[in-house]
C-alpha cells in the first residue's frame, strides 16, 4: 500500500526543510542546464546562491505556457536527450502543442504519485482499473496506467470512446475501478442504465479529472453507479495526473508538496493571496529532472489550506477547481464560468447534466444561450416545458447575475465527449 506516512504525514517543519533542500537543488540545476532560466535569472539580477529556501520563491521568475511554446519543442529540457525516456504533449486550443519530457526517475515519481491517489481512493492491488482516459500524447491514459500497475492493481488499457465495448469489458473482466473524465463517466453511467447493466458490473471506485466539475456532479455519479468517486488533478507541463487528489473526506485535494511547491496568486497583480482565498495556482517542480519548471502559472483557479485533514495527511489541500482563468467568459461585463452553470442545473429536476453554452454578439450585445436536455415527456406537454424553461431561466439568472436564453433540446442532442467535455461555443468576433 502506498500510504506513505513518511511523505504524506510529515510535520510542517519537516516538509519545509525537505522543500528548501529540493528547491535549492532545482534552482542550481536549471541555472546550469537551461539557458532560458539562466537568462531570466540574470535579467532579474539573481544568482542561484540567492535562493536559500521557499521563502525566496517570490524572487524567482514565473514560467508560462507561452514560454514552453517559444522554446518548442524541447528548449526547456534540463537533461541531454539520452536521459529522456518518454515524451507527452498537450494540444491546447491555440498554437503549437507544448512538449514535455520525462527521465526514468521522473516516470518513477509520476507512477508513485498516481499510486498514492489511487490508494486514497481505496484502490489496492486486488483491484482492476479500467483506464478510459485517452492513451497517446495526452498524459491521462499512460499516467493512470502506470500508476495502477505500480500499485500492483491490474491496469485495463481501454483508452477513451466506444462506450458499448467499455461496458462489455467492465462486465466481463469485473473491473472494480475506472479512471476517466467526469463528463464521460456521466455518459457511461447513463449508458449502463440504458443497457440495464448496473447489477452486472462490479465497479466500486472512480478517479475523475482532467476537467473542472462540481461536487454535485460527483454525488450524482456516485448515486447513479453506487460507487465512490474521487477527484484527481494534474497537468502535462508539471507531470500529468497525480499532482493532487482528494481523500475520503472530499474536503479539497491533497497536493504532493514533496514534489510540487504550490503558491496561490492574484492573476492580475501577481501577488500572493492569503490562505483560503481564491487565486491562480502556481507550481514549482522540485524533483523533476527532464523538465523542471519554476513558478509555472497553471491558470487554474483554487484556494489553499494548510490545516491537517481528518484523514491524517498533513499535505496542503487545494479546493475543487472553479475553472481556469482562461475558461472564464466575460459576457456583458459579467464573469461567467461553465462550472456555475453546471452547479445551477444540478438543482433542476427533469433535465440531465449535459449542457452547452453558446455566446453570440447580436447588435453589439453579448447573448448567452444555454442548451439543456429535457426529458422526452416534456416535449409532449407545452405548458410543462415552458414552466421548466422559466424555472431554469430564473435559476441561471440568480446564479450568474445575467439574463440567459434557455433552449430545451431532446435527450442526446448535445454531443457527448469521450475526453474533456466541450461546454462552450463562443461565436463572438474578437478583433
Per rule CB under 6 A, is residue 300 in the interface with ligand DLL? Answer: yes
Indicate the angle between helix axes 215-225 and 182-194, nearest 10 degrees: 30
Per rule CB under 6 A, is residue 133 in the interface with ligand DLL? Answer: yes
Q: Do the strands 329-331 and 334-336 form a parallel or antiparallel pair, or are they unpaired?
A: antiparallel
Binding track over 91-130 against ligand DLL, x by CB under 6 A? ----------------------------------------
Per rule CB under 6 A, is residue 324 in the interface with ligand DLL? Answer: yes
37 φ, ψ to 5°?
-75, -35
Per rule CB under 6 A, is residue 231 in the interface with ligand DLL? Answer: yes
Closest approach of Cβ 250 to ligand DLL, in Å? 12
For ligand DLL, the closer CB: 366 or 418: 418
Task: Please name the residues in contact with 69: beta carbons below 8 A apart, sequence gap of 6 or more.
Answer: 95, 96, 98
Per rule CB under 6 A, is residue 204 in the interface with ligand DLL? Answer: no
Q: By CB under 6 A, what part of segment 139-158 binds ligand DLL?
A: 139-140, 143
| Helix ranges, 226-378 (H) | 338-345
Q: Mark the segment that binds ligand DLL (CB under 6 A) among 35-43, 132-140, 216-224, 260-268.
A: 132-140
Are 290 and 106 contacting, i.e. CB atoms less than 8 angstroms apart?
yes
Which residue from 212, 316, 370, 374 is in contact with ligand DLL, where contact means CB under 6 A? 212
Q: Mark the segment that binds ligand DLL (CB under 6 A) among 23-31, 65-73, 208-216, 392-400.
A: 208-216
Q: Mark the segment that binds ligand DLL (CB under 6 A) among 10-18, 121-129, 227-235, 375-383.
A: 227-235
Per rule CB under 6 A, is residue 241 in the interface with ligand DLL? Answer: yes
Neighbours of 16 (CB within 10 A): 15
Q: Do the strands 296-302 and 323-324 form a parallel or antiparallel pair, or are they unpaired?
A: antiparallel
Cα 280 to Cα 263: distance, rounded to the nearest angstrom? 8
Per rule CB under 6 A, is residue 54 in the interface with ligand DLL? Answer: no
For ligand DLL, the closer CB: 186 or 232: 232
For ligand DLL, the closer CB: 300 or 366: 300
Per rule CB under 6 A, is residue 232 in the interface with ligand DLL? Answer: yes
For ligand DLL, the closer CB: 242 or 408: 242
* CA dist list (Å): 289 to 23, 50, 404: 12, 21, 48
* CA dist list (Å): 336 to 127, 270, 403: 40, 21, 12
For ligand DLL, the closer CB: 283 or 404: 283
Give the end-to-end CA distance of the chain in Å, rounded to a whole number.
55
For ligand DLL, the closer CB: 258 or 300: 300
402: three-class secondary structure by DSSP = coil
Q: Do the strands 128-131 and 365-374 form a parallel or antiparallel pair, or are they unpaired?
A: unpaired
Closest approach of Cβ 281 to ligand DLL, in Å? 8
For ligand DLL, the closer CB: 8 or 280: 280
Task: Please name the residues in contact with 39: beta carbons below 8 A apart, sequence gap of 6 or more.
Answer: none
Which residue from 210, 247, 344, 402 is in contact with ligand DLL, where contact means CB under 6 A? 210
Burial class (CB in 10 A: 0-12, 13-18, 19+), 172: exposed
**Which residues would be at the binding site for ligand DLL (CB under 6 A)?**
90, 133, 138-140, 143, 209-212, 231-236, 240-241, 298, 300, 321, 324
Amino acid at each position: 500500500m502506498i500510504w506513505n506516512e513518511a511523505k504524506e504525514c510529515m510535520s510542517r517543519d519537516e516538509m519545509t526543510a525537505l522543500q528548501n533542500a529540493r528547491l535549492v537543488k532545482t534552482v542550481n540545476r536549471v541555472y546550469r542546464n537551461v539557458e532560458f532560466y539562466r537568462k531570466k535569472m540574470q535579467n532579474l539580477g539573481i544568482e542561484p546562491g540567492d535562493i536559500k529556501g521557499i521563502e525566496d520563491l517570490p524572487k524567482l521568475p514565473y514560467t508560462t505556457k507561452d514560454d514552453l511554446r517559444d522554446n518548442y519543442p524541447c528548449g526547456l529540457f534540463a537533461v541531454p536527450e539520452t536521459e529522456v525516456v518518454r515524451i507527452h504533449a498537450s494540444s491546447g486550443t491555440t498554437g503549437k502543442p507544448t512538449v514535455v519530457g520525462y527521465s526514468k526517475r521522473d516516470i518513477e515519481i509520476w507512477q508513485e504519485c498516481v499510486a498514492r491517489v489511487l490508494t486514497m481512493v481505496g484502490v489496492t492491488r486486488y483491484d482492476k482499473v479500467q483506464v478510459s482516459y485517452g492513451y497517446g500524447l495526452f498524459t491521462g491514459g499512460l499516467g493512470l496506467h502506470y500508476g495502477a500497475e505500480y500499485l500492483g492493481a491490474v491496469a485495463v488499457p481501454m483508452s477513451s470512446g466506444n462506450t458499448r465495448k467499455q461496458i462489455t469489458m467492465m462486465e466481463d473482466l469485473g473491473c472494480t475501478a475506472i479512471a476517466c473524465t467526469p463528463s464521460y463517466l456521466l455518459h457511461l453511467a447513463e449508458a449502463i442504465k440504458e443497457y440495464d447493466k448496473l447489477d452486472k458490473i462490479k465497479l466500486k471506485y472512480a478517479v475523475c479529472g482532467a476537467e473542472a466539475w462540481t461536487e454535485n456532479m460527483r454525488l450524482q455519479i456516485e448515486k447513479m453507479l453506487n460507487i465512490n468517486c474521487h477527484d484527481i488533478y494534474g497537468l502535462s507541463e508539471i507531470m500529468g495526473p497525480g499532482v493532487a487528489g482528494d481523500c475520503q473526506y472530499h474536503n479539497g485535494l491533497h497536493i504532493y508538496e514533496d514534489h510540487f511547491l504550490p503558491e496561490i496568486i492574484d492573476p492580475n497583480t501577481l501577488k500572493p493571496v492569503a490562505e483560503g482565498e481564491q487565486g491562480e495556482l502556481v507550481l514549482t517542480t522540485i524533483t523533476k529532472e527532464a523538465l523542471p519548471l519554476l513558478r509555472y502559472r497553471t491558470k487554474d483557479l483554487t484556494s489553499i489550506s494548510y490545516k491537517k485533514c481528518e484523514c491524517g495527511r498533513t499535505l496542503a489541500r487545494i479546493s475543487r477547481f472553479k475553472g481556469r482563468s482562461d475558461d472564464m467568459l466575460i459576457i456583458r461585463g459579467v464573469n461567467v464560468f461553465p462550472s456555475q452553470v453546471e452547479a445551477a442545473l444540478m438543482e433542476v429536476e427533469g433535465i440531465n447534466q449535459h449542457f452547452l453554452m453558446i455566446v453570440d454578439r447580436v447588435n453589439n450585445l453579448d447573448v448567452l444561450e444555454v442548451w439543456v436536455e429535457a426529458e422526452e415527456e416534456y416535449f409532449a406537454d407545452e405548458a410543462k416545458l415552458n414552466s421548466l424553461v422559466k424555472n431554469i431561466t430564473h435559476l441561471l439568472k440568480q446564479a450568474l447575475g445575467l439574463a440567459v436564453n434557455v433552449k430545451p433540446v431532446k435527450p442526446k442532442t448535445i454531443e457527448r465527449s469521450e475526453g474533456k467535455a466541450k461546454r462552450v461555443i463562443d461565436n463572438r468576433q474578437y478583433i
